[in-house]
Structure 1
Amino acid sequence: MCFGIFTSPNSESGRNDLVGFIKEIAAQGMYVCLRIGPFIEAEWTYGGFPFWLHDIPGIVYRTDNEPFKFYMQNFTTKIVNMMTAENLYASQGGPIILSQIENEYQNIQRAFGTAGSQYVQWAAKMAVGLDTGVPWIMCKETDAPDPVINTCNGMKCGETFTGPNSPNKPALWTENWTSFYQVYGALPYIRSAEDIAFHVTLFVARNGSYINYYMYHGGTNFGRTGAAYVITGYYDQAPLDEYGLLRQPKWGHLKQLHTVIKSCSTTLLQGVQSNFSLGQVQEGYVFQEEKGGCVAFLINNDRANKVTVQFRNRSYELLPKSISILPDCQNVTFNTANVNTPSNTRIISPKQKFSSVDVWKQFQDFIPSFDDTSLKSNSFLEQMNTTKDESDYLWYTHRFENNLSCSKPTLSVQSAAHVAHAFVNNTYIGGAHGNHDVKSFTLEFPVTLHEGTNNLSILSVMVGLPDSGAFLERRFAGLISMQLQCSKGESLNLTNSLWGYKVGLLGEQLQVYKGQNSSGIEWRELGNIKEQTLIWYKTTFETPKGEDPVVLDLSSMGKGEAWVNGQSIGRYWILFHDSKGNPSQSLYHVPRSFLQDSGNVLVLVDECGGNPLGISLDTVSVTDLHQNFSKLSFPSSS
């Protein structure tokens, strides 16, 4: 089994203890592909780059640009030095058998022209020059320079991979997507066990020698680490779900597949491969050793019909879209479409409800007006460059004199952020949001203005930074235009007026999420829940007994972020429904490592629409119909 690990700029302590993690992998008898990047994408905010990189003069990411190459080389060298100092490369007796430089660069290479090709050459030479003693790879990079190995990412690399670009390079599959990342407003992507097994087997039959699952184990985007619109739960449909529980039949079916492949791995590595037709859309692959070892793969590419084929004077029935493996070229021991692992079901067990008003306290966040801001500009500032990714929130405030003839104009705000909430004279007017596939949206509401001076405050919200594409450093977020319109065509354009800015919420500045009482924080009894906006809620709870994963059911909340004992369990966005009218995610993982024996403090900030009285603390388990998988064992690999 080989773990593929992406590195990040903070890889030295706590949950980011990269060295400690790799040592634990070695202790479990497994290997590592260390994917240094430093650009990783991975649905990680800003593709894994720290935002301070944006402010380096003259920088252009991921091209033949001297400032970027300087910091990229520094980071790569630091990670390699961390590994070599601990003897973690295979050349030193350690578990790291591969390293990766860059990530899926071919997706954007054309945008940089000649400079893109020069950058690929430089990155390869720089990485190889670090003398790790193990091969370097570039995924999705057909022109990876020797000796760097080009590899495949995707769901069907047995079909789509054009192969190594040199005869002395192996066929490697860096990311076999067991599902796909999910964004707010979207349904989960369900990839079947049969489909995964088919394409893994096809890749092996066509001389593939390495398959890394992405993801094999789901996870959680704690804090603000998720990229734009990406939900907090990550690859929950993996063979091991977000909580580490088996997702059957996916886990069991792949375990059986890899057990079979491992049983004949010597022949697959040493035998001579041959390919032949078995029918119009049927084919076979045979690996034959001189000493007699023989492995056959019989493939049916017909999605609708099963067929009977003849192979070595025997008849074999092949299920639709399937591959049969014959480890001795005679007997079928595995068919990719024949799933005999029973499905399991997730069980949610409520442990504590927070339905009593008495268990909650609340803190009303501050709505700033123009006079409360020190940063001013005569035009809209770009949001990411203003917040420096220190907060999801940026206040745009303006003071103006009402000289419109209509009594109730329409406020129209165009935004390239993700969410906007409008307040006029401290009164909430309404909110709007975009989605993952549309880069801007419009907020429009009728507003009632005072005669004379009025204060307008727009809270612009990001739900993660962009994580992919060329010229990431040039991306724009935040408000684009704003005007007040009367029905007769009369309007007041406020876009290029004098605006005041405030980064973040007051509660963030006061670190309300730590649950401590400090100056400026006045926790009160729960108010009128239906009319509240920008409210912090606080309560306590006891740790559920046992070892089952712990989750918070936040299906009664609106949008915001949650903390347990001062540690963020991620963003939630219940109000953003999928096409079936349900939240994309309602259960939020609380790792037991975050919990104390008793007196755990839960703090949430809700932008609008949240009802904390509906929150519950639950545990998660799965049914196990035939076998007891309580002691988890990983499948073998070839």
Structure 2
Amino acid sequence: MIRTVLFAVLCICILQVAAQKAPGKFELGDSVFLLNGQPFQMISGEMHYPRIPRAAWKQRMQMAKAMGLNTIGTYVFWNAHEPQKGKYDFSGNNDIAAFVKAASDEGLYVILRPSPYVCAEWEFGGYPYWLQNEEGLVVRSKEPKYLQAYRNYIMAVGKQLAPLQINHGGNILMVQIENEYGSYGSDKEYLDINRKMFIEAGFDGLLYTCDPANDVAKGHLPGLLPAVNGIDKPSQVKKIVQENFNGKGPYYIAEWYPAWFDWWGTKHHTVPAEKYAPALETVLANGISINMYMFHGGTTRDFMNGANYNDRNPYEPQISSYDYDAPLDEAGNATDKFLKFREVISKHLPSGQVLPPVPAAKPLIAIPAVNFESVTSVFDLLPAPKTSLKPLTFEKLNQAYGFVLYRTTLPGGKKGKLQVTDIRDYGIVFVNGKRVGILDRRTKKDNLELDLPAGNVTLDILVENLGRINFGPYLLKNTKGITEKVSFGGTELTGWQMFSLPFSRVDNIKTSKSTPATDVPVVRKGSFTINKTGDTYLDMREWGKGVVWVNGHNLGRYWEVGPQQTVYLPAEWLKTGKNEVVVFELLKPSQTVLTGIEKPILDMVK
């Protein structure tokens, strides 16, 4: 009898496992997608796993379900997964397979975008910095070194994600090759190489391309579904897809923008829900599938923000907040836009389907004032230097992000212009340890008039990488630091020391209770104590410029120029009791007051 029961239980377990892994079908109909043979309209929202604490993935997905989404879209970020050549990381917040499975647990499908290039207002558009150290390598091309690096990466991604495609029993419906390639080039052979590599990596389900409306013809690979970005008039969407896909559909708006992102020194972008809700209504009523970019932006931490730049506009580094004025705000709470979009979506649900209730807003707290117990000058943090006749870039120093301090000596007792040619991106200049000026690529400020004291003078330039360009032709010109030369009074300066300050971790920084010079950047360490956790924001309005960490987590940059004046601190990274705070402050080293606030300030430009 016992054997019979055990056998029955074993059979049930086997059947359950088989059911979980039963292959499904996601196919192209003439006008709609077909999921297991039935018409299926994707109502998708983009959110990115590195921009959300892993412990919060489930909550964000539950919010997606509550708004009426049935699918999540996400990029896969090469520089997060292969930060150094051949060294892969799919752990913690980089565990993309766990993110996809978490979506499945909440009854959501996934649209996967593992192109090696993502744009996404992300550092270098997702490319790892070390590609620039490969001599002759040209991204987004058939250049052999690039294709080999690309192939190595996509094979690693395939091992993680190919088994999670719907045709293998998973929840990934479609996989995108390249990303808005038509805005960059039109080489169909290159696109076909992409397609073949994806298939070799195990992505043997439905593949597609996506491009802005005007670039679909250039970026589309014949045979794959062409998705359209940036428009929402059904007649236009259908016309573009039909022109590039044998006169038929289905129709998919791969990026529909309910608002926009921000960059330092400019106003916060917002768009009222009333402007977009009617368009969403029209799209859904016409049976067109859609992916909102973004449904939830989150935060761009760990120096991973990108930047825009072209010949007409200045360098524009993006802020750390990726709130995006999206339906779900930076902390994962419903906005007015969320509720209005939910109302629209609820009218277009399959028969008998009812939306789950909207989860309650997450608890908010305002932390007590931080008690800064110790401090150290940046000059006391310097590691052993590397030396060179001319300044070396971050890349030549094998440093991805953060800061580099450049040092040389020169004879003083004279006046002249200090010229730093093509500084990237922000520099603080010191003479004999005293701050004498600031250089800023955003404002094209690359020189200072100096009056040097007598004797040998130590010249220091602390340079910050504010984010590599993530869109356009300057992807190929993305080195950081002092990228050309430094001259004084028309004479080039040589004999440089370079001190790398990547700030990839802060637990090993030694501080003391002494008070450093008042014009030198400092690291301050402190703490606060709480008896309950909740989402909160650090109020940086009285600070100048820098980076802040809590409990070892890099929360992102702050800068008095705005529009972002607060730094989001997720409840998931707090703990009851003592919490550690580290601030690297560049401009106001005497500032010691840091408090919490319950609401973000994202719209204050100074």
What TM-score range do you get, normalising by the shorter chain? 0.7 to 0.9
Residues 130 and 395 in structure 2, CA contact (< 8 A), matched pair in contact too: no
Which protein shows a greater Rg? Answer: 1
- Aligned match for 1:255, one of 342, 346, 365: 342
- Aligned match for 2:513, one of 506, 513, 524: 524
Equivalent-residue separation in structure 1 for 2:209 and 2:281 (angstroms): 23
Q: Which residue of 1 aligns with 2:529?
A: 542
Equivalent-residue separation in structure 1 for 2:152 and 2:277 (angstroms): 40
For residues 155 and 544 of structure 1, do their structure 2 counterparts lie closer, same or farther at Cα, with a shift above 3 Å needed? farther
Q: Where does 1:491-530 land on structure 2 (aligned, <5 Å)?
A: 492-495=489-492, 497-505=493-501, 508=503, 513-514=506-507, 521-526=510-515
Kindly indicate whether residue 448 of structure 2 is the aligned counterpart of residue 444 of structure 1: yes
Q: Which residue of 1 aligns with 2:478?
A: 475
Q: What letter is aligned with 1:94?
A: G
The aligned length equals 498
Deviation (angstroms), 1:372: 7.7
Q: Where does 1:184-583 land on structure 2 (aligned, <5 Å)?
A: 184-205=264-285, 208=288, 210-228=289-307, 229-248=317-336, 250-262=337-349, 350-354=366-370, 359-366=372-379, 373-377=385-389, 379-381=390-392, 383-402=393-412, 404=414, 408-435=415-442, 440-445=444-449, 447-470=450-473, 472-479=475-482, 480=484, 482-484=486-488, 492-495=489-492, 497-505=493-501, 508=503, 513-514=506-507, 521-526=510-515, 531-543=518-530, 545-546=532-533, 548-574=534-560, 576=561, 583=562
Q: Deviations over 1:208-263 (max 9, x none)?
A: 2x111111012011111111311111034111000001111x01110011111225
Q: Deviations over 1:419-444 (max 9, x none)?
A: 11111122111213232xx6x43232
For residues 5 and 185 of structure 1, do their structure 2 counterparts lie closer, same or farther at Cα, with a shift above 3 Å needed? same
For residues 424 and 367 of structure 1, do their structure 2 counterparts lie closer, same or farther at Cα, with a shift above 3 Å needed? farther
Secondary structure of the residue aligned to 1:366 is helix
Deviation (angstroms), 1:620: 4.4
Q: Which residue of 2 aligns with 1:142?
A: 217
- Aligned match for 1:154, one of 215, 223, 230: 230
Residues 362 and 526 in structure 1, CA contact (< 8 A), matched pair in contact too: yes
For residues 390 and 66 of structure 1, do their structure 2 counterparts lie closer, same or farther at Cα, with a shift above 3 Å needed? closer
Equivalent-residue separation in structure 2 for 1:351 and 1:372 (angstroms): 38
Q: What letter is aligned with 2:376?
A: F
Moved more, 156-165 or 213-222: 156-165
Deviation (angstroms), 1:92: 2.1
Moved more, 100-109 or 609-618: 609-618
Secondary structure of the residue aligned to 2:221 is coil
Q: What letter is aligned with 2:377?
A: Q
Aligned-residue RMSD, C-alpha: 3.1
Deviation (angstroms), 1:55: 2.2
Deviation (angstroms), 1:127: 2.7
Structure 2 segments unaligned to the other structure (5+ residues): 1-69, 82-88, 308-316, 354-359, 602-606
Q: What letter is aligned with 2:452?
A: L
Kindly indicate whether residue 77 of structure 2 is the aligned counterpart of residue 8 of structure 1: yes
Q: Deviations over 1:119-168 (max 9, x none)?
A: 11221233345554531111104352243211112254647542241135
Deviation (angstroms), 1:403: 6.5
Residues 367 and 528 in structure 2, CA contact (< 8 A), matched pair in contact too: no
Deviation (angstroms), 1:96: 0.5
Equivalent-residue separation in structure 2 for 1:400 and 1:613 (angstroms): 35
Secondary structure of the residue aligned to 2:279 is helix
Question: TM-score when scaled to structure 2?
Answer: 0.75
Residues 559 and 610 in structure 1, CA contact (< 8 A), matched pair in contact too: no
For residues 483 and 125 of structure 1, do their structure 2 counterparts lie closer, same or farther at Cα, with a shift above 3 Å needed? closer
Equivalent-residue separation in structure 2 for 1:78 and 1:346 (angstroms): 36
User: Percent of aligned positions with the same letter in both sequences?
Assistant: 22
For residues 609 and 403 of structure 1, do their structure 2 counterparts lie closer, same or farther at Cα, with a shift above 3 Å needed? closer
Secondary structure of the residue aligned to 1:202 is helix
Kindly indicate whether residue 597 of structure 2 is the aligned counterpart of residue 618 of structure 1: yes
Residues 551 and 617 in structure 1, CA contact (< 8 A), matched pair in contact too: yes
Q: Which residue of 2 aligns with 1:175?
A: 255
Bigger strand fraction:
1
Structure 1 segments unaligned to the other structure (5+ residues): 111-115, 267-343, 485-491, 577-582, 623-638
Equivalent-residue separation in structure 2 for 1:385 and 1:159 (angstroms): 47
Deviation (angstroms), 1:350: 3.4
Equivalent-residue separation in structure 2 for 1:108 and 1:376 (angstroms): 36
Equivalent-residue separation in structure 2 for 1:187 and 1:23 (angstroms): 37
